[in-house]
Structure 1
Amino acid sequence: SIQRRHQKIIEESPSVVMTDELRKRMGEAAIKIVKAAGYRNAGTVEFLYNNGEFYFMEVNARLQVEHPVTEFVTGEDLVAWQIAIAAGEELPKKQAEIHFRGHAIECRIYAEDPANQYLPSSGKILVLEEPQSPGVRVDSGIRQGSDVSVYYDPILSKVTTYSDTRERAIQKMLSALNHYILLGVRTPIELLKDVLRHPEFKSGNLTTHFLNDHLPGWKPASPDKKELARALFAASQAAAASQAKSNGGVPVMQTPWQTLGSWEIAKESLS
């Protein structure tokens, strides 16, 4: 995983270091741990991995935020399993019946400013458009118009992508984040894209110190003035056309944006 302040922002399955032998050893250790604790339900046993060895960290007696990556690569509904277990039913499958296919990546969307020490960002969500395409899943607790407070966990949503290879899952995530529009509060979407594009991430050289090692003091790229001007011009023209259609041809008072014609931003002439 990629972490900030010891909290994950990007997770994936399978891990780039995972082998069948390592998965077997970790699974056996996890079962011993929860049996010793007398726990029987959905949960997550977390380990730290370093130089071929893994070390127990903690047990979370619940589904983790990143459970969609497991659901994607196994094709199983872990929430349904949890409800069934709580009702006293047996697990629907044995371990040998679980098969892993493809690769899944999850990005967490927080209300925070990664360019300012990840301070929480509060406000009203003015515009929200979530990505929708095959192999893309968005788990969200927000809607357009929602008020975001600093008094609660800053996570707004999580985006998970799935494909047959890690490389394609990364590209699908980049496309999904490019189509994720959230205005009103700051989010780490641009930081997430920079991580996904980073050569060390693509090659699988990951540590929990990735951000400090490769993107220290990260700041978002400044918007290109020409592109910004073109976007503003296109938006004004689209708004004018939309208003004309919505009025059914009835004359309406024109706004300056509709009647301005050629105009300049940062000394770039557009017409």
Structure 2
Amino acid sequence: MRFIAYRDDDGAEAFGRVEGSRAHRLRGVAGIDRATSLAGLLDAPADTAGTELDELTPLPVVTRPGKIFCVGLNYRSHVDETGRDLPEYPVLFTKFASSLVGHGADIALPPESAQVDYEAELAVVIGRRGRRIARADAYDHVLGYTICNDVTMRDYQYKTHQWVQGKAWDGSTPLGPVLVTPDELDPSKLAIALRLNGEEMQASSTDRLIFDVPELIAVISEFTVLEPGDVILTGTPGGVGYRRDPQVFLSDGDVVEVEIEGIGTLRNTVRAEAAA
């Protein structure tokens, strides 16, 4: 099953079940939060008429996640293009809820950065609380899967050995367009691609992840509780703009599309922010 987060005609947050080309608003569910469960979403009553998807204003699939975990260097092709050694433990960093935007929203291009880059990623949304989750039990804690573009300000990322200042800019990280429940796809073998103004820049498959979804859930839950609504971004394949020759960075008006097999296409336009 598929779900979408969006704003209704009054500007309030809403959450709907996707059937064909229409979204049917769930009654009593405004979005994904700590109280969300997969069974709760599947059993929630929905409006019968529905609204055409192209009439909605999508929000990030999870509008206010408690925690966002990001994984760096998780495809061999990306590790190779950076010239680094293969990691023996996941490279982890964080983003904030204020970083997220929805499908169709503008990606904020800040005036301070001259090296804004794209990164196609599969995102995992947690649906069941857990700590020290065994790898064998990891999938029991997944609410569903969606798409992320882990937009990165490279000149800020590499100011220090820590990456958060290049990764957590407000309004920079698209997440969507829909949440797909675990029964609909196998996250271990999904084609993933990114197009910039129609030109393919990244293409791979999630079967090439160094640390797969169960391993990431097990590792992260060792040091912190995973809660419903937490998000894990699983890393990007090779082909990022910073590592190309010549380098490629995002500009005002660019259209970026991330497509993942079984989920769909996340499409956003880059818009320059006005300097303060």
Q: Normalising by structure 2, what TM-score?
A: 0.24
Bigger helix fraction: 1
Q: Which has the larger radius of gyration?
A: 1
Q: Normalising by structure 1, what TM-score?
A: 0.24
Higher RCO, Cα 8 Å, sep 6+: 2
